Amino acid sequence: MKIGLQFAMPAELFALPGVKGMEPFETVSGVPFYEIAPNILACAGGVSKVNAAMAAEILCLKYGVDLILNAGVAGCATDLPIGSLVVASEFLQHDVDTTAVGDPIGLVSTVNLVHFPTWESEKCVELLADLGYTATTGRVATGDWFATKGSRAEWIRDTFDPLLVEMEGCAIAQVCLRNGVKFVAVKSVSDHFFSENQAEEYFDFGQALENMGKVVLPLAKKLQEVE
């Protein structure tokens, strides 16, 4: 099975041991792509939904991956400790709103879905446990907004009840759905967006990067064995 590891920021990609300093084998539409193991490609496609969707489409159409594993850091709506690993059970887009024409909040037209399930999230938690890592599962909300404490964050929490909020995952999920490609996502808690210390947490997320970086490639190799 060919797997694409998709990150948003280079810092997330280079958190994988041995990857920093590696040369990309190709750059497409400004996105460098790396082969970090047999049949395992990786890229940092950029922050936000458009960048994420574009990189995911390249992985699907140009490189023919069978599964995309999206990994990175994310803000937490609850009190999970910094560095906690979360395998996303499903994604939604909190900034899609066509309720004015009678649609449910969060409905993504064309595919007509609000919730985008991931592939075998519980199995991924088990595979991580086999590797010696603890993870939980939960819903993740995606949108082109860095979540911070305030009325908008409260609305997202109360409307969608996400465990995490980030800026790329649901866009990748949508691309994978339309291409018939499996989708898995592993996030590490970098900050708590209802905390008074959110900025300090986010700009000191070394522990979150380390915890995420050490599990991604082993999990990808385990997924290759499963399939």
Active-site residue numbers? 12, 191
The tokens for 121 are 């999230």
DSSP the chain: --EEEEESSHHHHTTSTTTTTPPPSEEETTEEEEEEETTEEEEE--SSHHHHHHHHHHHHHTS--SEEEEEEEEEESS-PPTT-EEEEEEEEETT---GGGTPPTT-BTTTTBS-EE-S-HHHHHHHHHHTT--EEEEEEEE-SS---SSHHHHHHHHHH--SEEESSHHHHHHHHHHHT-EEEEEEEEEEETTSTTHHHHHTT-HHHHHHHHHHHHHHHHHHHHH-
